Structure 1
């Protein structure tokens, strides 16, 4: 669908609507009016009479409308290394895969980004984060390749320019030729912000600053990267408290746990979000709540790597902003966010709170408004409200997989992934009847397959 003028309207009617607004407003049969790239009205019953410049009407009978899903943590390049190191914990998994990842180049990252984004967008994601931190020397413009792929697919993109400056010779895990010097990483990060970052309300592209983790970057890089981000007015992102091994590493090297260490270098605040945060003490949760530090909860990846169960109910009680993340597809081969709605609910019920851990509506909130909070975009997206950006999904819940579930939100969260009849980003259609309309899915699949085979061959020859 071509971009429309501000006056041109799309009207969606006769669908169940979960607005995910502050009151959790829902309509058993309601409407949404989109004007240009904004939501003009949402409410019960049919759309208002007398609307002008209506270019399309959608009959949403049998569907649930929600805000678009927001993925708050990913590593797109890992699309090319799915299914490897299947029975490893995080550190062993990294040791197995870093020598492969160190061979990526621009063409590979472009194909991987198209695969990662295509899978997510087809499954209802309208805003995506990527954390790219592997920059082998001579590999080309890797961040630019991701940005090109996101623009082509029409997704709202928040890439974070990652970095590592602690290679094998310094006691780190990645090969030395896959890391940068501290100065190189900082200079490249600043250049990415200056080149790409758009802070506007309806921005389709925002850059974040994202050194990889406490065990792959130096203290100096963490500290200076935080200072750079705040000087430039952009957000900060990294991994935190993912495993017991990381906890042990931080105590041995820094004399404190990950949260205390990150706070000591200026890495807690309402402009910061951390991926995973599985092993958090009560004091850690209090610190995150006090500072407004956000969490990207990645339940499938946490389970795949045996990392543990994050304390999401306790985070919410402590006032911690929490969103959902796919994480890289080398540790979450499904590659889409609906899985995380379901697994966030189910896996947290295996923890201390059992069946009272999370409700279906809380899980949906994590995947929508919670993600917007984590990214600092809650005024723009994450709920269906007049004036917000038109990022929305129409899920079919009257088919064989869902028709006997009376509660459409439960059908979405507890059931299998419903077909996406319509997905809009910034008022533009990106999915229609379960298929991407902005890219050829078969070409994406072939490109990813070919580049995955090329990477495997190059890594095998090097190893």
Structure 2
């Protein structure tokens, strides 16, 4: 239930990530339903509330020992992959080989599998600070529908950006996925339209916005890319999302098949603009960075996935400096094996400091505060939502996370508690508020029997692996 007026007070540090970058010691925040009503020091808000009885909070929570941030924004995920963690990644497979191995496992996915994996992935994300999640579900065997994921996500209370993924070019036509996992393009477009009209909410503070997401240049046709863009743009605030420039193998594939690199191909099918965000973008090239900045196209950086699959290091520093909209994502749970959003913030910070060809290692290349901004306001901009989420400002959505920094992992970090949150071992959310509703309290998910969920998830996972001959 959304609190009428929730008063959060005595935070050690309240990091607003607003245009002034305010960090308020002994910070406080009062909500009014789904929006933030007032921000300041605890003394300021105590006096402001006392001056008018109608401002009295309906609930007050003491945040001594906590750092408060905007809710973290996860811009790219494949939540169904929670069912198949550590398969292939432990062996050191690269992307194409990893996909080919796992497609035969994912062919056994069921609607129950979609629902339980969605709840499991979201539980982990919520407990690690995420409040807004974009997911990319692109295969639909055995009667699976995107509606199965959406229903499960609504029940978890997350601000959700589901994208209707698709694969239409199978192995027999030169694509990567097996023919059994591709769909007819007329059905893909019809179902995409159905989902937009059933679920999409373009209004401010929306809890669910749709996107269309052909999986990648090596799994859909040029025609489907073009028609998906036309369909999305016939509605208001429907996003466009796909994987792009993730590996050098993809670059070679695009040049051999289309006679151009991945980003040039995207431009040729109308896939650049403020409604587009690409997952990964590890190999954009200098011209590609300039093109994305000029067209206001977005990028979701997935550092752990890019490392575990040896895809490379995305030039996030260069993209941000050029003016590209860049956010952060954990990517699929089988190409990261974790859903820890705050942990991903730390990985992004560390990875940008490491050298790569043409760039020497530089510890000053990416600060802790820049990493936090990447995961909050950066993610909001990437999803086209900087107007209502991504920072703690009066009038914006009451999406707020508090992390405890008074325990063992942060002992000795009191000189800069905000930096300690991001440089020390990743913490879990102690409190999470989404749209004015408390969804995590005292580090526990509200209304979720977590042991029962894990037990159900593992049972479905084992069934999937047994069916594929892997267990």
How high is the TM-score relative to the length of structure 1?
0.96
Aligned counterpart, 2:424: 415
Aligned counterpart, 1:185: 188
Aligned counterpart, 2:104: 99
Aligned counterpart, 1:40: 37
Structure 1 position 434 matched with structure 2 position 440? no
What CA deviation, in whole Å up to 9, does each residue of 1:247-301 have, x standing for no partner? 0001111111000010010001011000000011110000000001000000000
Structure 1 position 302 matched with structure 2 position 302? no
Structure 1 position 449 matched with structure 2 position 458? yes
For the 8 Å contact 1:129–1:157, the answer to whether it is kept is yes
For the 8 Å contact 2:126–2:429, the answer to whether it is kept is no
- Give the deviation of 1:44 after TM superposition: 2.5
Describe how 1:229-378 pairs up with structure 2 within 5 A.
229-233=232-236, 234-351=238-355, 352=359, 354-378=362-386
Aligned counterpart, 2:230: 227
Q: Distance in 2 between matches of 1:116 and 1:166?
A: 28
What CA deviation, in whole Å up to 9, does each residue of 1:100-157 have, x standing for no partner? 1122110011111011101001111100010000112xx2243111111111110000
Aligned counterpart, 1:74: 77
Which secondary structure does the structure 2 equivalent of 1:409 belong to?
helix
Which secondary structure does the structure 1 equivalent of 2:76 belong to?
coil
Q: Distance in 1 between matches of 2:460 and 2:331?
A: 20
Q: Distance in 1 between matches of 2:132 and 2:227?
A: 28
Q: Quick check: 49-58 or 309-318, which moved more?
A: 49-58
Could you tell me which runs of 5 or more consecutive residues in structure 1 were left unpaired when the two chains were aligned.
none
For the 8 Å contact 1:243–1:279, the answer to whether it is kept is yes
Q: Distance in 2 between matches of 1:141 and 1:333?
A: 23
Select which of 121, 130, 136 maps to 1:131.
136
Q: Distance in 2 between matches of 1:85 and 1:420?
A: 30
Select which of 369, 389, 397 maps to 1:389.
397
CA-atom RMSD in angstroms: 1.3
Structure 1 position 398 matched with structure 2 position 406? yes
For the 8 Å contact 1:429–1:437, the answer to whether it is kept is yes
Aligned counterpart, 2:124: 119
Which secondary structure does the structure 1 equivalent of 2:234 belong to?
helix
What CA deviation, in whole Å up to 9, does each residue of 1:216-236 have, x standing for no partner? 111011011011111123110
Select which of 161, 168, 178 maps to 1:175.
178
For the 8 Å contact 1:323–1:366, the answer to whether it is kept is yes
Aligned counterpart, 2:434: 425
Q: Quick check: 98-107 or 297-306, which moved more?
A: 98-107
Which secondary structure does the structure 2 equivalent of 1:236 belong to?
strand
- Give the deviation of 1:398 after TM superposition: 1.1
Q: Distance in 2 between matches of 1:410 and 1:146?
A: 35
For the 8 Å contact 2:162–2:209, the answer to whether it is kept is yes
- Give the deviation of 1:182 after TM superposition: 1.3
Q: Distance in 2 between matches of 1:143 and 1:182?
A: 16
- Give the deviation of 1:240 after TM superposition: 0.6
Aligned counterpart, 1:10: 6
- Give the deviation of 1:45 after TM superposition: 3.6
Q: Distance in 2 between matches of 1:456 and 1:363?
A: 36
Q: Distance in 2 between matches of 1:419 and 1:312?
A: 25
What CA deviation, in whole Å up to 9, does each residue of 1:281-328 have, x standing for no partner? 110000000001000000000000000000000000110011100100
For the 8 Å contact 2:254–2:262, the answer to whether it is kept is yes
